[in-house]
Amino acid sequence: MIEKVKIPVQKLPGNADVSLPRYMTAHSAGMDIHAAVESEEMILPGERKMIPTGIAIALPDGYEAQIRPRSGLAITHGVTLVNSPGTIDADYRGEIRVILINHGKEPFVVRRGDRIAQMVIHRVCRVSWDVRQHLDVTSRGEGGVGHTRK
């Protein structure tokens, strides 16, 4: 069974018409989040822009929100996020904004209400380091990128 968490959300002034993040299918992991631009924003090829969402959230301690690209925008227009995933920390109370970049060949227009990214809520943990002289041995060892040659 999926855990349900109630998270306070605030629609910032002037954004009553912008939809709250929502799951688009019954089994979606991410909620689509919407652009709250005042007027159309054109993102030229190679350009990036910070796009407002018109909302702020209050995550409980022990949770984060990850902001991820939408695959449909990536494949259709070459539009994705610069910092992916972006992280919203539990103590952040400002507006969620999304940094979009256009890797496509054509200008991309963001309109008010467009679905621009996805938000996934995750539990987080705190690490305490256990400093050691040596780590346990594994079959992979220090093999990095491409180490399996497959």
- Per-residue pLDDT of 19-63, as tens digits, reads 999 999 999 999 999 999 999 999 999 999 999 999 999 999 999
In 3-state terms, what secondary structure has residue 38?
A: coil
Q: How far apart are CA 47 and CA 35, in angstroms?
A: 17
Q: Which among 48, 47, 51 is positioned nearest to 34, based on CA atoms?
A: 51
Domain ranges of the chain: 9-123
Identify the band that residue 150 occupies on the pLDDT scale cut at 50, 70 and 90: low
Q: Residue 77: what are its φ and ψ, rounded to 5°?
A: -120, -10
| φ, ψ of residue 31 in degrees (nearest 5) | -95, 135
Residue 148 predicted with pLDDT over 80 = no
- Sorted by sequence, the CB contacts under 8 Å of residue 91 that are 6+ apart come out as none
How many whole angstroms separate alpha carbon 83 and alpha carbon 74?
A: 14
CATH topology of domain 9-123: Deoxyuridine 5'-Triphosphate Nucleotidohydrolase; Chain A (2.70.40)
Residue among 117, 57, 127 at smallest CA distance from 83: 117
Model's pTM, two decimal places? 0.87
Report the distance separating Cα 110 and Cα 34, nearest Å: 10
Greater pLDDT, 1 or 51: 51
Residue with tokens 């054509």: 106
Q: Could you say which DSSP state residue 19 is in? A: P
C-alpha distances (whole Å) from 114 to each of 12, 110, 133 are: 17, 7, 52
Whose CA is closest to 79, among 59, 109, 58, 113? 109
pLDDT in tens, 53-99: 999 999 999 999 999 999 999 999 999 999 989 999 999 999 999 99
Give the mean model confidence (pLDDT) for residues 100-114.
Answer: 98
The C-alpha angle with vertex 112 and arms to 35 and 22, in degrees rounded to 5, equals: 50
Average pLDDT value for residue range 104-114: 98
